[in-house]
């Protein structure tokens, strides 16, 4: 399948992390989504029922970023991927990248991110 929908830079403020200060103070998280699906019907019909409503996907991702905290961004990415696959049956494969630009590491970095891929 070569068709995909990409959504990049979904932003939310969350309380994910291993350290107490991350859970207490929170930080910015950004999520990128790539969904693989067949878009042939949608490209012909021009009907939203034949594709994935990316407004609903961004709402889902935002809710996960701002919702119940997890220790690892790996867990957050996996949770988002599973919810997308559960809610959008047209999606055959989803890639989720969670960015944690303010991750507490000793070296100066512009970003730390985790990408996971889940398939049906």
Enzyme catalytic residues = 100
Give me 105's structure tokens.
Answer: 């590491």
Distance CA 104, CA 85 (A): 31
DSSP state of 101: T
Whole-number Å distance between alpha carbons of 77 and 8: 14
């Amino acid at each position: 399948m070569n068709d995909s929908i990409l959504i990049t830079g979904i932003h939310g403020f969350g309380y994910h992390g291993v350290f107490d200060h991350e859970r207490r103070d929170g930080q910015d998280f950004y999520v990128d989504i790539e969904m693989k699906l067949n878009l042939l019907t949608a490209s012909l019909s021009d009907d939203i029922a034949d594709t994935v409503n990316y407004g609903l996907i961004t709402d889902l991702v935002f809710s996960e970023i701002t919702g119940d905290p997890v220790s690892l961004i790996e867990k957050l990415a996996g949770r988002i991927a599973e919810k997308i696959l559960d809610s959008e049956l047209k999606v055959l494969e989803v890639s989720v990248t969670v960015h944690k630009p303010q991750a507490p590491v000793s070296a100066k970095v512009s970003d730390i991110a985790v990408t996971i891929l889940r398939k049906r």
